[in-house]
Structure 1
Amino acid sequence: MAHHFKLASALLIGVYVAPSANSMNWSRSVPPPPVTAATMAQASVEAAPERMLIDTLNAVRSNRLDDALRLVDALIEKNPNYKLAHLIKGDLLLARTRPLTTLGNAGDAHAEKLNDLRAEAQVRLKHYLAPPPSEAIPASLVKLSPQQAYAVVVDATSSRLYMFRNDNGVPRYLLDFYVTIGKQGAGKNREGDQRTPVGVYFVTGKLPRADLDKTYGAQADLYGVGAWPLSYPNEWDKRQGRDGHGIWLHGSPSDTYSRPPLASNGCVVLTNPDMAALGRYLSAGTPVVITPRIEWLAMDEWRSRAAKAQAQLDHWRSDWEKLDTEHYLAHYSDDFRANGTDINTWRKQKSQINASKQWAKVKLENVSLFAYPAETPMLLTSFDQDYQSNNLNNRTRKRLYWKQEGPGWKIVYEGSQG
């Protein structure tokens, strides 16, 4: 006997919405379609859990509810603590006896927890329905230095993390994962504001689970398989008066497969399998850009922007090397401040130093360039600087923060990294 029901999902254009008539049915007497549920379930068991989830939702949307139940059972068998999968299975079982109106239709369900699970289903399905353009590059990754084998970009709005490999300075897509960010979203300003910072950061090291257990005891389970600390607050954060600490990439508690999109205290959180997979590519110095929303560029546009950013840095280096003090200082904004030095003091110091030079050579190596996520367009340039002159030889790691002012770019912060 067939059972009929109607689903009008409150999720992204209807997670459960069926084509045309918007009605679906269970049928235990009608043979399955040529691609059977058993075949699909077997194939999906070997796939990533997110792929299995999407297969389940697509089976529901295609009016193949027996298939959907088998698929979600396979997903739960693989990940027993996947709460969203259990919710979908509950819906499928309830659908045999009564109409459903939304994802998570149990009358006594906790509203906040349901909303969290709906939000997770929404962002995961949205990524499947509208993936980034093929071969596109995030605008924030302008150039990667030879020392940066990989780079990470986090899209806070879509709860997605993308990993790229360095192909002779060109970022090439490698992996992507669903992530959780701060309970209050992105844009950290203060300690305890439960927001994830926005900016360009670098992995500072690794905290294996064994080390976390020694330090935090039972609370270490919050971080799952381990943690990779980030360099928040960076120089620009401090310049803006932002504070806080302990912003990490880390895994999930052992009793939870995945957390809702907005659930951390500010860290970027992955499932344990995803964090373990990502962690294989992370090392001290790996760039991690956290942006409200990724701007994706076609290769030609990316190359054009990268060339302009590199030219800006080259002009600064050339003017400095030529001891052309007027043009060199013209690269600095009136808003420049660094380590307690304002633009007037900086101009005076640099004018005196250049006046004492007979010649200078400035070489920049291991250059990386990032479009810094900010309300006003910014650039971050990072490089090893080899400075030689008639009375000083110096080699240091340096970062320059540039802000767009009118048609050009001006330096608003300069600092050495030791």
Structure 2
Amino acid sequence: MTGVARMWRYRAGCCRLPHMPLATRQDPAMYRLWLFVVLIFVGVLPAAANERVPAYVIRVPAAIKTVFVAETLAAKFHQFDNESGSPIEYRGSTYMSIGKSGDGKRRNGDRRTPLGIYFVTEQLDTSRLHEKYGITAFVLDYPNVLDRRRQYTGDGIWVHGVDRRGGKRPPRDTDGCIALPNESLAMLEDRFAANRTPVIVTRRLEWVDRDTLDTIGRELETAVAEWAESQRQGDLHTFLSLYHDDFRHWGMNTQEWLAFQAETLNSRRLIEVTVSDLLLLADPVEAGTYLSRFTLRTVEDGRTTELTRRLYWRRAAGG
């Protein structure tokens, strides 16, 4: 009980979320919003893994049907499907080939495959491209926000097929893309959706108990809900307290961004702020860093706006 009281001391008197039993509450202040982006727009698992869940997939909304996890050290491309009303389920794995220099891409031309959370942006017609791209290709959004923050360079990272005449490629044989056998890619093709399907690239696929992810998921859901509610209420103190000291956006540092947001909140009269289609993923590179991606609907002065937003969260020190 002492730990719970200490955890909620800073939040006392300012949380407007629906009442929950004290034992189930998690402090949204344990997370600080780090980065912020507005977007317009088959195999057999080990027995132990069958009873556990991938460590990176915390919450998946019904709108997202599949999450892919590329495991570079095992040269496997895993498929996890999200069927309505059930936890995400392992469907199988296929062989993959990655960059000639391995993983951990940092600069243009290093022939490495990036590690992180990426989303498919579009499907390419490869009929007029080099034969090495195979039957089709899906573009990933490398470099993402975290990559750019780390000053990683390069682009053109795809999930694509292989030369129809060449057969299977070695585990390290691309310029940084992920290459799948054509027959496997053909089976997976309808599971890729532009601006929706995540592809998580990690060295090893880690497994955890579902209870562990459920706890993290509740904490993050509460933090996202408070972020949204503080805007509707015009609660500047709560809203600004969620931003991390390392926050950057639009070239502004933390203080510049907070001043901008303070002016924005004071000038708006929001009638409704709702969050839907919430996706929660754990970053495979930096432990304790999480991505939330959702649709934010706002209503003000008779005008309704819907945007897809990404919030990157990091657990606060001591939280």
Give the TM-score normalised by structure 2: 0.79
Partner of 2:144: 234
> Once the 2 structures are TM-superposed, how far is the Cα of residue 343 of structure 1 from its aligned partner?
0.9
Alignment counterpart, residue 95 of structure 2, candidates 178, 186, 209? 178
CA RMSD of aligned residues (A): 2.3
Partner of 1:282: 192
SS at match of 1:246: coil
Q: Do 1:376 and 1:404's aligned partners in 2 also have CA atoms closer than 8 Å?
A: no
For structure 1, list consecutive stretches of 5 or more residues without a partner in the other structure: 1-126, 409-418
SS at match of 1:306: helix
> Once the 2 structures are TM-superposed, how far is the Cα of residue 213 of structure 1 from its aligned partner?
3.0
SS at match of 2:163: coil
- Residue 133 (1) aligns with residue 33 (2): no
Query: Greater helix share, 1 or 2?
Result: 1
Partner of 1:249: 159
- Residue 325 (1) aligns with residue 236 (2): yes
Q: Do 2:98 and 2:178's aligned partners in 1 also have CA atoms closer than 8 Å?
A: yes
> Once the 2 structures are TM-superposed, how far is the Cα of residue 391 of structure 1 from its aligned partner?
8.4
Partner of 1:15: none
SS at match of 1:346: helix
Partner of 2:58: 142
1 CA distance for matches of 2:272 and 2:255?
25
1 CA distance for matches of 2:71 and 2:47?
12
SS at match of 1:311: helix
Partner of 1:189: 106
Q: Do 1:140 and 1:372's aligned partners in 2 also have CA atoms closer than 8 Å?
A: yes
Q: Do 1:135 and 1:173's aligned partners in 2 also have CA atoms closer than 8 Å?
A: no
Q: For structure 1, which segment, 180-189 or 302-311, has the greater mean C-alpha deviation from structure 2 after superposition? A: 302-311
2 CA distance for matches of 1:201 and 1:375?
15
Q: Do 2:270 and 2:298's aligned partners in 1 also have CA atoms closer than 8 Å?
A: no
> Once the 2 structures are TM-superposed, how far is the Cα of residue 360 of structure 1 from its aligned partner?
4.2
Q: Do 1:202 and 1:287's aligned partners in 2 also have CA atoms closer than 8 Å?
A: yes
Q: For structure 1, which segment, 382-391 or 182-191, has the greater mean C-alpha deviation from structure 2 after superposition? A: 382-391
Partner of 1:265: 175
- Residue 158 (1) aligns with residue 93 (2): no
Cα distance change, pair 252–132 in 1 and its aligned pair in 2 (3 A)? farther
Q: Do 1:357 and 1:390's aligned partners in 2 also have CA atoms closer than 8 Å?
A: no
SS at match of 1:334: strand
Higher relative contact order (CA 8 A, sep 6+): 2
SS at match of 1:289: strand
Alignment counterpart, residue 365 of structure 1, candidates 273, 276, 296? 276
- Percent of residue pairs bearing the same amino acid type: 31
Residue pairs, 1:202-221, within 5 angstroms:
202-207=119-124, 211-214=125-128, 216=129, 220-221=130-131
Q: Do 1:357 and 1:391's aligned partners in 2 also have CA atoms closer than 8 Å?
A: no
> Once the 2 structures are TM-superposed, how far is the Cα of residue 145 of structure 1 from its aligned partner?
2.0
> Once the 2 structures are TM-superposed, how far is the Cα of residue 275 of structure 1 from its aligned partner?
1.6
1 CA distance for matches of 2:155 and 2:176?
10
Q: Do 2:134 and 2:160's aligned partners in 1 also have CA atoms closer than 8 Å?
A: yes
Partner of 1:201: 118
Give the TM-score normalised by structure 1: 0.62
2 CA distance for matches of 1:163 and 1:234?
22
- Residue 316 (1) aligns with residue 212 (2): no
For structure 2, list consecutive stretches of 5 or more residues without a partner in the other structure: 1-42
Cα distance change, pair 392–254 in 1 and its aligned pair in 2 (3 A)? closer
2 CA distance for matches of 1:159 and 1:360?
50
SS at match of 1:200: strand
SS at match of 1:312: helix
1 CA distance for matches of 2:104 and 2:258?
33
Query: Greater strand share, 1 or 2?
Result: 2
Partner of 2:295: 384
Partner of 2:265: 354
Residue pairs, 1:24-43, within 5 angstroms:
none
Partner of 2:132: 222
Cα distance change, pair 362–346 in 1 and its aligned pair in 2 (3 A)? same
Q: Do 2:62 and 2:83's aligned partners in 1 also have CA atoms closer than 8 Å?
A: no
SS at match of 1:340: coil
> Once the 2 structures are TM-superposed, how far is the Cα of residue 374 of structure 1 from its aligned partner?
2.3
Partner of 1:404: 315
> Once the 2 structures are TM-superposed, how far is the Cα of residue 144 of structure 1 from its aligned partner?
1.4
> Once the 2 structures are TM-superposed, how far is the Cα of residue 248 of structure 1 from its aligned partner?
0.8
